[in-house]
Chain A
């Protein structure tokens, strides 16, 4: 298994531009999570999906952020327009509901820098 795959690994963009982060979860995992990591706020849960359906997006900072999961093997997190304060590392994680193998697997993250 290739694990959770995130792309790109690094993204540098100018303020005001649209940014799209991508995630491919582990095949067979039922839930997908987007986290943001900053020095000031630590690891924050932004949104999560169960069976491709958004369940809780209360962690999404504002309307500039949106996330989609069109199918079981792909999710995107979009920021439009981007601002310097969005600079952070964004992690995607997937999880199985199988209690015998319960756990979250994280991708390597996307380091976003907005200048």
Chain B
């Protein structure tokens, strides 16, 4: 079985501040891990993915995430938030079968 827990359903940061969205996973096999972003009334866009290569993964729009096996975590970060980053972010865990999503974290960016 596999599952994902996203800590914090809402995160608010000021423009230019660090963005940190937390994700912890549970998987009985080495996982594939993903972060997706969803803008209002749109579909899911892949930000980045971890597939057992480098533990620090760089994605689009300046985001990156680090896979930490000892902490079963895959937190998403961005050094400096932009107003356009305001959206819903989903962490997901996959294996050779399927993929399961966390509940999502809504990011608000204040001017």
Partners in one complex: yes
Q: Which residues of A contact B (CB under 8 A)?
A: 33, 35, 42-43, 45, 48, 55-56, 91, 93, 95, 99, 102-109
Contacts of B36 in A (CB 8 A): 106
Cα(A102)–Cα(B51), bound, Å: 8
CB distance from A48 to the nearest CB of B (A): 5
Contacts of B43 in A (CB 8 A): 91, 106-109
Interface residue tally of chain B, by bracket?
Answer: 20 to 34
Q: In whole angstroms, how far apart are the Cα atoms of A42 and B88 in the complex?
A: 11
Secondary structure at the A interface, as helix, strand, loop or mixed, is strand
Question: B98 to A33, Cβ gap below 8 A?
Answer: yes
The residues of B with any CB-CB pair to A shorter than 8 Å are 32, 34, 36, 42-46, 49, 51, 90, 94, 97-104
The answer for the CA separation of A105 and B34 in the assembled complex, in Å, is 12
13 contacts between A and B (CB under 8 A): A42-B104, A43-B90, A45-B98, A45-B100, A48-B98, A56-B98, A99-B51, A102-B49, A104-B46, A104-B94, A106-B44, A106-B45, A108-B43
Q: Complex formed: what's the CA distance from A100 to B44 in Å? A: 21
Complex: A108 Cα to B97 Cα, angstroms: 22
Q: Report the nearest B residue to A100, measured CB to CB.
A: B51
How far is the CB of B74 from the nearest CB of chain A, in Å? 15
Q: Do residues B98 and A103 form an inter-chain contact, with CB atoms below 8 A?
A: no
Closest to B52 in A: A99
How far is A99 from B34 in the complex, measured between Cα atoms in Å? 15
Contacting residue for B42 out of A48, A93, A108, CB 8 A: A108
* A residues near B104, Cβ cutoff 8 Å: 42-43
Measured CB to CB, the nearest residue on chain B to A108 is: B43
Question: How near does chain A come to B95, taking the closest CB pair, in angstroms?
Answer: 10
8 interchain residue pairs of minimum CB distance: A43-B101, A106-B44, A108-B43, A42-B103, A102-B51, A109-B43, A106-B43, A48-B98
Closest CB-CB distance, A97 to chain B, in whole Å? 8
